[in-house]
Amino acid sequence: MSAVDLLAKRIPPKSANHSAESASRCAGNPFQESMLRLLQTPAPPLEDPDDIAIDPPPAIDPQKLADIPKIGSLGEGVELFQALNRNIELLEGLDELRYRAQKLDYLKKANEAKRCDHLKANGVRCGSPALAGKEHCFFHAQFHNAEYTLPLIEDKRTLQLAYMDLAKGVSMKTISIDHGRLLLQILQSAGKNLPDIDWQDGYQE
């Protein structure tokens, strides 16, 4: 069990009953009363930098940690309790600082990265981060760098497959509309010149 756990056991959760009980027990002892009030004050939120204690936290004496089970009254533990809290706050604060510094670094790098050059239909540039060494983002690179090779058209079946590939390419935007139009004309011409055979069924005399 850690020192903090031990102390937490010794200082039960604050409740209305407990406060009243403690107050009556400590009645007439101004020192203990003020310590109790201090303990019952909620800790300031870490998010507000103005509320964070900026002095270095007090060092924790290992002997005092070892002596926690011997603490006989609430008042005796208050100083150690505050010192532990301040040290925990410092560690948590440093973690948060490291996280924010890293985030700032990532944001800076993202802002420096080259942006996609693709112009959308409304004339606005895409602006997503471009692929390393490329002009476009992953999505638009497929559109701009698409390499469509015409399949061998030997019968109606392969012509149909070529039509389907073309339609898929245009709908997935891996083939531009203009390029698609040209390919469609080529396929239509190829279709007109097809011999009336189906290689899959074999040559029919």
Count of helix runs (H) and strand runs (E) in the chain: 8, 0
Gap between the Cα atoms of 184 and 200, Å rounded: 24
Q: Give the shortest CB-127-to-Zn ion separation in angstroms.
A: 7
174 forms part of the interface with Zn ion (CB under 5 A):
no
Least separation in angstroms between CB 110 and Zn ion = 15
Could you write out the three-class secondary structure of 83-130? HHHHHHHHHHHHHHHHHHHHHHHHHHHHHHCCECCCECCCCCECCCEC
CB of residue 118 to Zn ion, shortest distance in Å:
4
> C-beta of 136: minimal distance to Zn ion in Å?
5
Contact (Cβ atoms closer than 8 angstroms) between residue 199 and residue 154: yes
Is the CB of 10 or the CB of 114 nearer to Zn ion?
114
Name the residue type at position 27: A
137 binds Zn ion (CB under 5 A): yes
Q: Kindly indicate which of the ranges 88-96, 97-105, 134-142, 191-199 contains the residues binding Zn ion, using the contact rule CB under 5 A.
A: 134-142
Q: State both tokens at 184.
A: 């469609």
| 118 near Zn ion, rule: CB under 5 A | yes
For Zn ion, the binding residue among 140, 153, 180, 183 (CB under 5 A) is 140
- Min dist. Cβ of residue 112 to Zn ion (A): 17
Please report, for residues 73, 115, 119, 189, the alpha-carbon distance to residue 129 in angstroms, rounded to integers and kept in the order given: 62, 5, 14, 41
- CB contact set of 93 (below 8 Å; sequence gap of 6+): 46, 52
Shortest reach from residue 140's CB to Zn ion, in Å: 4
Q: Interface with Zn ion by CB under 5 A: which range of 19-27, 61-69, 140-148, 167-175?
A: 140-148
* Binding-site member from 128, 142, 158, 176 for Zn ion (CB under 5 A): 128
Query: Which of residues 86 and 173 has its CB atom nearest to Zn ion in the complex?
Result: 173
Cα(175)–Cα(169) distance, integer angstroms: 5
Q: Which is nearer to Zn ion, 158 or 176 (CB)?
A: 176
Are residues 84 and 39 in contact, defined by beta-carbon separation less than 8 angstroms? no
Binding flags for Zn ion, 63-102, as an x/- string (CB under 5 A): ----------------------------------------
Residue carrying the six token digits 């097809």: 194
Footprint of Zn ion on this chain (CB under 5 A)?
116, 118, 126, 128, 137, 140
